[in-house]
Amino acid sequence: MPELPEVEAVVRTLRDGGLEVARLQAAHVVRPLVTRPQAHQDIEQLSSKTTVRHIRRRAKNIVIDLSNHHSLRIHLRMSGDLRLEAAEKTSGPSVRAWWQLSGKRALVFTDARALGRVHIYPTDELNQLFEKLGPEPLSREFTAQRFAAIARVSRLPTKLFLMDQSKVAGLGNIYAAEALFRARVSPFVPVQNLSSARLEALRQAIRETLKAAVHSVYKAYKGPGGFRNHGDDFERLVYGRAGGKCTRCGRPIQRKQQGGRSTYFCAHCQR
């Protein structure tokens, strides 16, 4: 599932491709399910004949700010992708919506599992909705003081805390597990029980993990083959490695169910 690094890679690639300042001449919603509960006609009308002012990421959302003071909000979910393509590549079984650009190009949203969503809001209204989200972990707002203040009032186990978008924006199952391993913190310990020093170690591990993942995924996404769940050179130390040896102590990586998801960890190194 796309997490912060994957979504950030898509945003950066679209910027590199010149989507900012591009003209959206016409919008086409191929599968109306993708816009529910909004009417697909509203998406088409409000995003046609506009200019892209800015493209950004908020948590796991791709946001395209338009010249008519509206913003497209695109969530990739499990298998979505958003790419700049030649105009003739706007058909196919996984195409859900596309926007005609100048220069015989198109912005194409594909989603094999049909779980992704495309919505449009007045930009001010969308920004207000985003105020419910936690701080961006790669932003200046993600300070030791703010992270500690949020953690101190939560009784959640640390991994579930990190995956709660109202606490920290953009983290998902993969990178939460990787950051916890790097910080030597158990995914099961209540986050409010962590000392200030351990919280700071975790905050730093989150930032370092995400920076490395963004760099890796961005390189992988730019190459042939389109969207990937992770970059080739980002080393997963615990996620998906149940039964494999811990890179620190050599003991086997364990896997347990937590909050309906698989949690990977080293019981010896993470306390």
Token pair for 19: 């989507």
Helix (H) or strand (E) run with residue 257 in it: strand 254-258
Token pair for 193: 């029980």
Q: Is 137 inside a domain boundary?
A: no
Q: What is the mean pLDDT of residues 144-164?
A: 98
Q: What is the mean pLDDT of residues 45-59?
A: 97
Strand partners, 3: none
| Known active-site residue 261 | yes
| Known active-site residue 3 | yes
Average pLDDT, the chain: 94
The pLDDT assigned to 200 comes to 98
Structural domain that includes position 9: 4-130
How far is residue 139's CA from residue 142's CA, in Å, rounded to a whole number?
6
Report the domain count for the chain.
2
Q: Is 139 inside a domain boundary?
A: no
Is residue 157 within 8 A of residue 257, CB to CB? The reply is no
| Known active-site residue 2 | yes
- 153, pLDDT greater than 60: yes
Q: Is 22 inside a domain boundary?
A: yes
- DSSP per-residue codes, 206-244: HHHHHHHHHHHHHHHHHSTT---SS-TTPPPSSTT-TTS
The pLDDT assigned to 229 comes to 54
Q: What is the pLDDT of residues 163-188, one digit of tens each?
A: 999 999 999 999 999 999 999 999 99
- 223, pLDDT greater than 80: no
- Reported as a pLDDT band with limits 50, 70 and 90, residue 29 is very high
Q: What are phi and psi of 17, to 5 degrees?
A: -80, 0
- Reported as a pLDDT band with limits 50, 70 and 90, residue 1 is low
Q: How far is residue 120 CA from its own chain's centroid?
A: 18
The pLDDT assigned to 176 comes to 97
DSSP 21: T
- Which residue among the candidates 3, 6, 8, 178 is catalytic per the annotation? 3
Percentage of residues of the chain with pLDDT beyond 70: 96
Same domain for 221 and 122 = no
The pLDDT assigned to 243 comes to 97
Same domain for 87 and 11 = yes
More confident residue, 103 or 144: 144
Same domain for 210 and 182 = yes
What CATH number has the domain bearing residue 27? Answer: 3.20.190.10
Helix (H) or strand (E) run with residue 254 in it: strand 254-258
- 262, pLDDT greater than 90: yes
- Reported as a pLDDT band with limits 50, 70 and 90, residue 233 is confident
Same domain for 120 and 190 = no
- Which residue among the candidates 5, 8, 57, 60 is catalytic per the annotation? 60
| Strand ranges, E, within 30-172 | 50-58, 61-66, 70-75, 80-86, 95-101, 105-111, 117-122
- 235, pLDDT greater than 80: yes
How far is residue 102's CA from residue 188's CA, in Å, rounded to a whole number?
52
What CATH number has the domain bearing residue 197? Answer: 1.10.8.50
Same domain for 124 and 148 = no
* 3-state class (DSSP) for residue 164: coil
- Which residue among the candidates 12, 228, 236, 261 is catalytic per the annotation? 261
User: Which residue, of 130, 160, 185, is where some domain finishes?
Assistant: 130
Q: Is 271 inside a domain boundary?
A: no
- Which residue among the candidates 2, 5, 157, 187 is catalytic per the annotation? 2
Token pair for 10: 């898509």
- 224, pLDDT greater than 60: no
- 226, pLDDT greater than 60: no
Q: If you count them, how many residues does the chain have?
A: 271
How far is residue 162's CA from residue 261's CA, in Å, rounded to a whole number?
13
Q: What is the pLDDT of residues 90-118, one digit of tens each?
A: 999 999 999 999 889 999 999 998 999 99
The pLDDT assigned to 100 comes to 97
